[in-house]
Amino acid sequence: MKTLTFLCILFLGISTISFSQSKGILKKAADLVEKVNTQIAKGDKSLALSDEQKKKITAVHVERLTALKKLGKDASKEDKKALNKTFFKKINKEILTKEQKKAIKEGKE
């Protein structure tokens, strides 16, 4: 009985930690999406991200952050840079319009 209680508490603790970590990744991804949207709005407010684009970009960032986490702290800068490049290419080629990319450049200036 004690073993069963201990295992239940252990499982609950691990589940809570995992959920908290994934919640942190979602928050960071949402912050990155807002940063992109702000840059676009600085260039041209009419080109702001749609809700669908926000969802897609958030999903890409969650995937990217999870992949970076799996690489670990011991991964080289080149490996991390290559991974980031892959995901940012996906955002730029598959989700953003040409006008939005131009607005980002203008918003950064």
Q: What are phi and psi of 75, to 5 degrees?
A: -65, 150
Report if residue 75 sits inside a domain. Answer: yes
Provide the residue range defining the domain that includes 84. 25-108
Report if residue 3 sits inside a domain. Answer: no
Predicted model pTM: 0.74
pLDDT in tens, 30-73: 999 999 999 999 888 899 999 999 999 999 999 999 999 888 88
Do residues 16 and 53 lie in contact, with contact meaning Cβ atoms separated by under 8 Å?
no
Q: Which segments of the chain does DSSP mark as H helices, in order? A: 2-43, 51-71, 77-90, 98-108
Q: How far apart are CA 21 and CA 26, in angstroms?
A: 9
Report if residue 31 sits inside a domain. Answer: yes
Report if residue 91 sits inside a domain. Answer: yes
One-letter amino acid for residue 76 of the chain: S
pLDDT at 4: 57
- From residue 50, give the alpha-carbon distance in Å to each of 2, 35, 68: 53, 14, 27
Average pLDDT, integer, range 2-19: 49
